[in-house]
Chains A and B, each alone.
Chain A
Amino acid sequence: MTKFISRKDLTLFISFTAIVLALPFLAAPFGAAYPDLLQRFMIFGIFAIGFNILFGLTGYLSFGHAAFFGVGSYAAMWSFKLLSTNAIPALIFAVIVAGIFALVIGFVSLRRSGIYFSILTLAFAQMSYNLAYSVLTPITNGETGLRMALSDPRVLDRMFFEVPAGTPVPSLFGATLSGWNGFFFSAVFLIATFFLAMRITNSPFGMMLKGIKSNQNRMNYTGFNTRPYTLTAFVISGMLAGLAGALLVVTDPLAGAERMRWTASGEVVLMTILGGVGTLVGPVIGAWVIKYFENIFSSFNNNILYNFWSFLPEGMQSTVVYISSKFVGEGWHLTLGLVFMLIVIFLPGGIMEGARRIGALLERISGRTRSRSELKPTAAE
């Protein structure tokens, strides 16, 4: 029997799957257990994992990944409009279109490395955003966003059965995909993406990518042509971004240009760095933390703060509410910025490094207590 997956990886994969599927219960104490946010957890988890395949493994920092995300969204929406409301053709179509798009942009951008590569991808992404926002409005419907309409052709649907009356919604062979169905649908893809990323990281191809990250010149001198490898990584990560973008349209059928803005590209960089570059779980955790801040912290208003600080005396309460109100609601970016700064300064490896350090500390403590208890049961202090 051939070795397919190592014990350690299998444990990691199973526990990841279990946590993802149990999120509706695990997230409840944090006020995050509602389908829309959990869908976003899944979708941006996929986005961040995809981004990490490029950034984490090859070290190429792309500042334009939101372009692929947006292209995936638009492609999926057009599949809904032209072909069928079924999610499967939409996802396939979106991944293919995003892949071709990534191939073109990657082919040009990967001729440079380092900061020049970042700037090139940023330029391409900003170009795509402006195209979507104000030039290609017949295709993208500009700021208003692209939606499904009653009058859409939907050729495949009309070929096989009578189209039901009412506003069309994305479905999976008859089952609608909003709410909890949408969450489990996206969860399956997140788990699959995680598995794919794990396999890539441990494959010879992944080793090659890591080699490129540590010293590309040396790789070239030993006779490897590195460009096909980086381009493949770029396309895979672009396709995963497209998949994430398509899933966002499946669960919430509106494709808008905002998701292609440079801030969205920056967000996925933040997610990856916050969670831990090059780790498997890190980007997913980073994505969850950022989406949590964006959706939960931004919804706190003064009433909630007054309730939260209600144990304080009257005068102090309003002062504390005034100060803390700057960090929630519209000010959630401020909190996120602070958290990001703290992590980058004290834990350059992201949340995953923090987890490792805590793990090591616990091990040391348990080790020390054990050895101490063996040596000298009575402490000097």
Chain B
Amino acid sequence: MSILKRGVSRRRVLRTGMAGILATGVSPMIISKGAWAQDFCNNPDVTGKVVFGLNLPLSGTYAEEGADQQKAYQLAIEHINGEGDGGLLNVFQPSALTGNGILGKKVEFVTSDSQTLSDVARAGATRMIERDGAIMISGGSSSGEAIAVQSLCQELGVIFMAGLTHSNDTTGKDKRRYGFRHFFNAYQSGIGIAPVLAQAYGTDRRAYHLTADYTWGWTQEESIRDATEALGWETAETVLTPLGAGDFSQFLTPVLNSGADVLILNHYGNDMVNSLTQAVQFGMRDRQANGKNFEIVVPLFSELMAKGAGDSIQGIFGTSNWHWNLQDEGSQAFTRSFGAAYGSPPSQAAHTAYVQALLYADAVERAGTFYPPAVIEALEDFEFDGMGNGPTLYRGSDHQCMKSVLVVRGNDNPSSEFDVLEVVQEISREDSSYDPAIFGGELGSAEPVPQCA
């Protein structure tokens, strides 16, 4: 007793410690036992609900794109559940959707703010899978996020329908069996924009690249550089800028003395709005260099960015995945229901989000089960039409959609605050296709992971 009063012996501590370690080793088996009852992660037959996990940047550099995507997802879920005017359900061919949820179950959704940061995006996706029982994760307005979440989804055995991500790596060297992308990529932008640039600006230009310093910027810079150098352009210099830099003046000043006559901004979202506005304030568009007019090119454009940049955008070339002013039935139907619900035309980010949600729902209907390998099989090499991009193929070898690409230009005389872009040319699916082998990468296995919590 006297020993106990003074303290505890070393032997006693060791003994207690061993017991603790044993208990630690045993308890995971007790707790994770329930997980084995499902044959795949968050099986709706077991959980009793169909939950889409929307992982969107609601703050940060790409916040505006994220907010627009969220609206589109909500609209898609309404239409899948048979509410609203049905939107693209009426024009999507071939469609197995009934307007009664998926396999008779109504779709719910949970959201997570990814803050345009990969770490946070992964934490959010994990929460939605582990706690909220998400059967599918969608979203991401940055390729860094999309790639990080896509590899997580592969590990957890949950299908990831990528939203806005334009990096070649998403379906290139970082492609995954569980990840699918409807949006086009930087390589296709290069194929699309190069001939237009040659026509407008000639073939003896010197280009200066400012590039967002992450996967998307790197691959876009590479693709655009290759495409323009194939025309005969030279590349004066390529400079990496941190994502979300805000002030680009320190990067813009050296451009003036570099001997370049074209500035290529591999920026997106707020970064692009800031860098373009500042470049215009520097008087770059009124300058002459090498006896030619100085030009600015923004290879990836969106309506939201064009609106943010205001007058600076007029006459600037870029590419887009989709534009609300397209005259086909699918684009019209989507623009109509989005406009009726939110009072503004949808952006390309919203369009791709909406289409991805519908494509997933349709694939589950066709597979007749939520079992991911079956859904993956239904999506791979699926040929469809009526979604606004013409006939489209979900290529099985890299999970990239093959469809036409738009070359756009900032509208000189906008008729309304939404009419900021005009479509210059539509690059056909045949011309924008490429061999998936050029990017390497491996899809990996479709087998579901049994250890989902």
A-to-B contact residues, CB < 8 Å = 1-7, 10, 14, 17, 21, 24, 31, 33-37, 40, 133-134, 137, 142-145, 147, 150, 165-167, 169, 176, 178-181, 183-184, 187-188, 191, 252-254, 256, 258-259, 295, 298-299, 301, 329-330
What is the 8 Å Cβ interface bit string for chain B, positions 138-166, against chain A (1 contact, 0 not)? 00000110011001101110000000000
Q: How far is the CA of A295 from the CA of B119 in the complex (A)?
A: 12
Minimum Cβ distance to chain B for residue A354 (Å): 28
Please state if B148 and A4 are interface contacts (CB–CB under 8 Å): no
Contacts of A259 in B (CB 8 A): 119
Please state if B126 and A299 are interface contacts (CB–CB under 8 Å): no
Q: How many A-B residue pairs have CB under 8 A?
A: 150
> Can you identify 10 A-B contacts, CB atoms within 8 angstroms?
A4-B8, A24-B31, A143-B215, A166-B444, A184-B25, A254-B148, A254-B151, A258-B119, A258-B120, A299-B124
Q: Report if A252-B453 is in contact (Cβ < 8 Å); known contacts: A133-B213, A180-B28.
A: no
Q: Report if A5-B148 is in contact (Cβ < 8 Å); known contacts: A145-B119, A188-B24.
A: no
Please state if B144 and A143 are interface contacts (CB–CB under 8 Å): yes
What is the 8 Å Cβ interface bit string for chain B, positions 403-424, against chain A (1 contact, 0 not)? 0000000000000000000000
Please state if A7 and B8 are interface contacts (CB–CB under 8 Å): yes
Q: How big is chain B's contact interface, by range?
A: 35 or more
Contacts of B118 in A (CB 8 A): 143-145, 254, 256, 258
Contacts of A17 in B (CB 8 A): 20
Please state if B214 and A143 are interface contacts (CB–CB under 8 Å): yes
In the complex, whether B243 has a CB less than 8 A from a CB of chain A is yes
Which of B4, B148, B445, B453 has most A Cβ within 10 Å? Answer: B453
Q: For B442, give its contact among A10, A33, A150, A295 (CB under 8 Å).
A: A150
Contacts of A33 in B (CB 8 A): 131
Please state if A10 and B119 are interface contacts (CB–CB under 8 Å): no
Please state if B32 and A254 are interface contacts (CB–CB under 8 Å): no
Please state if B213 and A180 are interface contacts (CB–CB under 8 Å): no
* Closest partner residue, chain B, to A150 (CB atom): B442
Please state if B13 and A178 are interface contacts (CB–CB under 8 Å): no
* Closest partner residue, chain B, to A137 (CB atom): B213
Please state if A36 and B123 are interface contacts (CB–CB under 8 Å): yes
In the complex, whether B84 has a CB less than 8 A from a CB of chain A is no
* Closest partner residue, chain A, to B126 (CB atom): A36
Q: For A134, give its contact among B120, B126, B213 (CB under 8 Å).
A: B213
Contacts of A150 in B (CB 8 A): 442, 444
Q: Report if A4-B10 is in contact (Cβ < 8 Å); known contacts: A35-B130, A144-B118, A187-B24.
A: yes
Q: How far is the CA of A180 from the CA of B30 in the complex (A)?
A: 10
Q: How far is the CA of A162 from the CA of B13 in the complex (A)?
A: 41
Please state if B156 and A134 are interface contacts (CB–CB under 8 Å): no
Please state if B451 and A299 are interface contacts (CB–CB under 8 Å): no
Contacts of A166 in B (CB 8 A): 444-445
